[in-house]
Amino acid sequence: GYQNVLKENRKLYNQLQDLKGNIRVYCRVRPLIGGHPNHYGTINNIDEESISLIIPSKNGKDGKKTFSFDRVFGPSVTQGEVFSDTQPLIRSVLDGYNVCIFAYGQTGSGKTHTMSGPNKLTEETLGVNYQIRNTSHNGINVPDANLVPVSSPSDVLNLMNLGQKNRAVSSTALNDRSSRSHSCLTVHVQGREFASGNSLRGCIHLVDLAGSERVDKSEVTGDRLKEAQHINKSLSALGDVIASLAQKQSHVPYRNSKLTQLLQDSLGGQAKTLMFVHISPEPEALGETISTLKFAERVSTIELGAARVNKDSGDVKELKEQIASLKATLAKKD
Ligand code: ADP
Ligand code: MG
């Protein structure tokens, strides 16, 4: 029945994962603000695994540049479709894996939208009895991190709302704090495997990163400039870590930022990492869009082009087809 199809899907997904390694980079393009979902702005073409941009030139002969990813989601792709593509990864937390999902992109490109969706849950009061337990992780102080027991999806959504509210509150106090800070929601899952009775522990981190836009040094000074440089440093340190994991290098530079130190247990090894790279299709955003895509290309395994193509042509293709047909079966049942 349904459970078996889900299980089969997960098994195939894990096989695919074994073949391709544990790092994925997905690209998502949001709709033009106030525009038609089929108008792509600076985007020339999108297919399942690549995106090409129109690069205007002064002589009137516009150029094109193509970037490849594990998956590309165009502006008309719904939250549901994105979720269903990501679900096997999320479910692997139940198999005891650690999972990190990052949202990267300039401010306004759709990071928070992907991570929490148009979250219109009415406010419910949070239980007052939640405990503040965890103030240190991997030897790093995380003074404001709370570990709260949850028992339902709405508990989690409420916490996410609270986190978002806290982030928004400080934004009025200090120059748009929400785009100049990383936010991380971690869900720890413990369970018992039905057949063996073994206990399993997994955790998933949902990381809504600070806006990736470069700051104009002429516009900011002092603390604000320092902060911006610090953010850019931590984003590029994260990029370096993911790139070296993707390329299976022996040295992974976790220690270059607090973010990567904090998440070290969940990056690399058996852990699974997914980076959602977000693109704004507006012409004004083109400069940032190009630098975002270059960043993303660097963190993905694209540079190992030959190896990737080889794998893609054979087993991966077959597994992908099987997964697609299982997905179709699942869709019929919904
Ligand atoms: P960021 O977190 O990167 O700053 P947001 O997630 O807040 O960006 O998105 C900016 C705006 O665009 C929001 O109003 C959001 O609702 C909208 N938006 C982002 N992505 C999509 C999408 N895929 N479909 C529809 N609206 C989107
Ligand atoms: Mg945001």
Torsion sign, CA atoms 101, 241, 288, 44? negative
Confirm or reject: Cβ of 268 under 6 Å from ligand 1: no
- Segment 38-82, tens digit of pLDDT: 778 899 999 998 999 998 888 878 889 999 998 999 999 998 899
Residue 310, pLDDT above cutoff 50: no
Residue 29, pLDDT above cutoff 90: yes
Confirm or reject: Cβ of 109 under 6 Å from ligand 1: yes
Q: Which atom of ligand 1 has the smallest separation from the CA of 107? A: 4
Give the residue, 277 or 310, on which the prediction is more confident: 277
- Segment 104-151, tens digit of pLDDT: 999 999 998 998 876 543 333 333 733 334 445 555 666 666 778 888
Which residue's alpha carbon is at the smallest distance from atom 10 of ligand 1? 108
What burial class does residue 36 get, using C-beta atoms within 10 Å of its C-beta: 0-12 exposed, 13-18 middle, 19+ buried? exposed
Residue 334, pLDDT above cutoff 60: no
Residue 308, pLDDT above cutoff 50: no
Percentage with pLDDT > 90 across the chain: 29
pTM of the model as a whole:
0.80
Half-sphere exposure of 278 (CA within 13 A, CB side): 25
- Pocket probe for ligand 1: among 26, 30, 85, 182, the residue whose CB has the most ligand atoms within 8 Å is 30
Q: Which atom of ligand 1 has the smallest separation from the CA of 33? A: 12
Residue 315, pLDDT above cutoff 70: no
- Segment 231-271, tens digit of pLDDT: 888 999 999 998 888 888 889 999 999 889 988 888 888 88
Percentage with pLDDT > 70 across the chain: 79
Distances (CA, A) of 165 to 160, 171, 299: 8, 10, 31
Give the residue, 322 or 312, on which the prediction is more confident: 322
Give which of 319, 11, 86, 14 is closest to 3, Cα–Cα: 11
Confirm or reject: Cβ of 182 under 6 Å from ligand 1: no
Residue 28, pLDDT above cutoff 60: yes
Confirm or reject: Cβ of 31 under 6 Å from ligand 1: yes
Say which amino acid occupies 213.
E
Other CB atoms within 10 A of residue 209 CB: 24
User: Given pLDDT bands bounded at 50, 70 and 90, which one contains residue 177?
Assistant: low
Say which amino acid occupies 205.
H
Q: Quote the ipTM score.
A: 0.99
What pLDDT, on a 0 to 100 scale, did the predictor assign at position 10?
74
By mean pLDDT, which of 107-111, 224-228, 310-314 is the weakest?
310-314
